[in-house]
């Protein structure tokens, strides 16, 4: 059952990668194999490191408190995804504007999260290794929070991290292929499903 929960968590964390891949596919931006591996590796490393930190924190807390805190983190991240999807819709209707920070490199990472196309800094139509690190850092932020919550609710670190890396690789590739073929498909659904899965996992781990 832990393995099944880990697979669901990996898919939830990687749905953002599906949306990013779709956006690049629609814009005909290519992600070479080396860049795909970098993106996958960064997500896996972020997940594993945050889960190790979560294990340390779990050792300092009573078992019940650790489980409740971990579940609350997953639920909170899921609810945050709902807000992100709502905010994205507001931007499309002109009710909100993209927040642009001038602090570098932090501001650049924030812009990449809001608008993945910004990762193609040289507008070459291809994500280079350096640009993949930038994009991977943005995507890995989600894995950091999810990894902490997962470790506190006793997810297996190695299996979960490996699944996250594999899922990120697959969803980026699938998303890119879909984007090249279905240019008008709405992508905010991925954020909503991502949030729903995290909320469901959070409540499940509290049982």
Instruction: Quick: pLDDT tens for 175-191.
Output: 888 777 765 555 556 66
Q: What distances in angstroms separate CA 53 from CA 1, 108, 151, 156, 198, one per listed residue? A: 23, 27, 8, 13, 20
> Mean pLDDT across the stretch 62-72?
74
Q: Which residue has the tokens 């980026």?
A: 172
Percent of residues, the chain, with pLDDT higher than 90: 8
Percent of residues, the chain, with pLDDT higher than 70: 67
- The reported pLDDT for the residue numbered 161 is 92
Locate 187 and state its tokens.
């992508």
> Mean pLDDT across the stretch 91-113?
45
Locate 180 and state its tokens.
């090249």
75 has a pLDDT exceeding 50? yes
58 has a pLDDT exceeding 80? yes
Collapse the DSSP code of 126 into the 3-class scheme (helix H, G, I; strand E, B; otherwise coil) and give the result.
strand
Bridge partners, 39 (sequence order): none
> Mean pLDDT across the stretch 61-88?
73
- Whole-angstrom Cα distance, residue 17 to residue 187? 11
Of 79, 47, 67, the closest CA to residue 200 belongs to 79
Lowest mean pLDDT among 34-38, 53-57, 91-95: 91-95
Mutual angle of helices 2-26 and 129-152, in 10-degree steps = 150
94 has a pLDDT exceeding 60? no
110 has a pLDDT exceeding 50? no
- The reported pLDDT for the residue numbered 111 is 52
Of 74, 45, 38, the closest CA to residue 155 belongs to 74
Q: What does the domain layout of the chain look like in residue ranges?
A: 2-97+140-206
Collapse the DSSP code of 38 into the 3-class scheme (helix H, G, I; strand E, B; otherwise coil) and give the result.
helix
- Whole-angstrom Cα distance, residue 4 to residue 195? 18
- Whole-angstrom Cα distance, residue 37 to residue 132? 9
Which has the higher per-residue pLDDT, 141 or 177?
A: 177
Which has the higher per-residue pLDDT, 161 or 68?
A: 161
163 has a pLDDT exceeding 90? yes
């Amino acid at each position: 059952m832990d393995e099944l929960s880990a697979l669901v968590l990996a898919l939830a964390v990687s749905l953002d990668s599906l949306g990013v891949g779709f956006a690049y596919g629609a814009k005909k931006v290519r992600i070479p194999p080396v860049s795909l591996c970098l993106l996958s590796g960064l997500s896996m490393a972020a997940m594993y490191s945050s889960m190790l930190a979560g294990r340390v924190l779990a050792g300092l807390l009573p078992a019940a408190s650790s489980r409740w805190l971990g579940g609350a983190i997953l639920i909170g991240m899921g609810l945050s995804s709902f807000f992100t999807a709502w905010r994205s819709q507001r931007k499309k209707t002109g009710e909100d504007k993209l927040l642009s920070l001038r602090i570098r490199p932090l501001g650049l990472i924030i812009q990449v999260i809001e608008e993945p196309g910004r990762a193609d800094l040289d507008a070459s139509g291809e994500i280079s290794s350096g640009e993949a690190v930038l994009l991977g850092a943005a995507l890995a932020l989600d894995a950091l929070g999810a990894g902490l919550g997962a470790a506190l609710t006793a997810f297996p670190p190695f299996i979960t991290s490996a699944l996250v890396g594999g899922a990120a690789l697959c969803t980026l590739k699938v998303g890119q292929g879909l984007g090249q073929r279905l240019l008008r498909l709405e992508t905010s659904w991925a954020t909503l499903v991502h949030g729903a899965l995290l909320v469901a996992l959070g409540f499940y781990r509290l049982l």
